[in-house]
Amino acid sequence: MAKPIAPPQGGSALRKMLIPLALAQFICSFAGSNMNVMITDISTDLDTTVPGVQTAITIFLLVMAALMIPGGKLTDRWGRKRCFTAGLTVYAIGALLAAVSPGLGVLILGYSIFQGVGTALLIPPVYILTTLLFDDVTSRARAFGIISGMGGVGAAAGPLIGGFITTAISWRAAFVFQAAIVAVIILLSRQIKDPLPADPTRPFDLTGAILSAAGLIFIVMGILAADDNVWVMVALMAVGAVTLTGFFLYVRSMERRGKEPLLSTGLFRNRTSNLGLITQNVQWLMLMGTAFTVSAFLQVVRGYNAIETGVIFTAATAGILVSSLSAEKLARKYAQRSLITAGFVVTIAGVLVLLALVKGSPSVYAFAPGLLLIGLGLGLMLTPSVNIVQSSFPDELQGEISGLSRSISNLGSSLGTAIAGTILVAKLIDRSYAAAMISLAVIGVIGLVASLFLPKNSVENRT
């Protein structure tokens, strides 16, 4: 293993390096949610449909989920800083391509493919570098609080910022905005120092990468196909399950032969990390599922424009910002498990409040209490979930666990959009809105149950 490079000791130097990392998480989360308020604008301009735009959003999230594990593994071979910069460059190219797209196909190429691949390359280094640079629980909680908070704010503020740009200029300008932010991040990232040197001799498991990506793709495609043909859905999900099973058998075979697979099976022997990954998946599923459901309902059923839809999400943005930026203080006062459990309780309550008040009132203000609670709950648990998973493994496994962690989170995002979208877009009436929100609340209960089994002092348990 290459000899580590001592990270800078000054707090000011670390904070400067944290800024571009947090901005990178912000813009990637923004890209996943700002499209929600452009549904009608894009479908009209590109002569496509609401399900067509939903497909573009889901493919973007799915590409991230499918390639995040390989992206995390490449950080060992290419270096974290180089992967970060390469990902930002690919992302910016995709944003500019999407901005000039003449049809849905080019939009999917630029937004879903290029930006998805760019995100898969740049996000694992964000979490690996943060884990390596901040080596004590308190400072790491603060750093992850800022990064996770910016991610949550990006996802929640995406509809507001995207709606404002779309209404004031055009939906295409929102992609130019993303490219401009990426250019700023590249400039700021020049001061980032990689604590671990790249190791070009590290092998890369291409077969494992293909199998893992294919399995995830088939699973989500199956959910998307549920509205068209239930048998196609079952077939696709079965193929996905078989492919993922084949992936794990292949990984075990590689390990028995003494070779380095894409993902070590040892990562799944850590009970604390496994439970933390479940909570991460459910958190992002609820966040993106709620964002898509409410955005589609507002625009297609209530007839709101992009900026009106975005303004309504201000309550969720404020909630995430308030609770996530309190991560350091909360980490000192409460156990990580307690924060995650409380977060799920508040988020589920927010979904139920959102469902009850919106069904009973035509007023736009009926959305505020539920969205605020959802934002507060998600912001409360995003940071401790990440901290628990990343801190469960030593430095030499950070590339693998970061890729797995981000893959699981982005799989949750794509599943949230796919599940909620499939239910809602099938027939945009009040009953479908209620069914989508109830489904999200039920899934939230699964995350809540998982959080109850987390060890009380799990953040300190390292393998």
Residue 199 lies in a domain: no
Residue 4 lies in a domain: no
Residue 460 lies in a domain: no
**Most confidently predicted of 7-21, 75-89, 224-238, 376-390:** 75-89
Per the structure, the complete domain to which residue 88 belongs is given by 13-194+210-455
HSE value, Cβ hemisphere, 13 Å, CA-based, for 237 = 13
Residue 1 lies in a domain: no
Number of H helices, E strands in the chain: 18, 0
Inter-residue contact 330 to 339 (CB < 8 Å): yes
Residue 6 lies in a domain: no
pLDDT (0 to 100) of residue 143: 82
Over residues 176-233, the pLDDT tens digits come to: 999 999 999 999 998 888 888 888 888 889 999 999 889 988 887 887 776 667 788 8
For residue 395, what is the domain's CATH number?
1.20.1250.20
Count of structural domains, the chain: 1
Distance CA 435, CA 440 (A): 9
Inter-residue contact 66 to 217 (CB < 8 Å): yes
Over residues 348-393, the pLDDT tens digits come to: 999 999 888 876 667 777 888 999 999 999 988 988 888 888 788 8
Instruction: For residue 450, give Cα distances in angstroms to 50, 122, 281, 377.
Output: 34, 29, 11, 16
Q: Which residue has the tokens 């993902």?
A: 263
Residue 383 lies in a domain: yes
Residue 87 lies in a domain: yes
Residue 3 lies in a domain: no
Predicted confidence band of residue 460 (pLDDT cuts 50, 70, 90) = very low
At residue 431, what is the residue type? Answer: R
What is the pTM for the complete model shown? Answer: 0.77
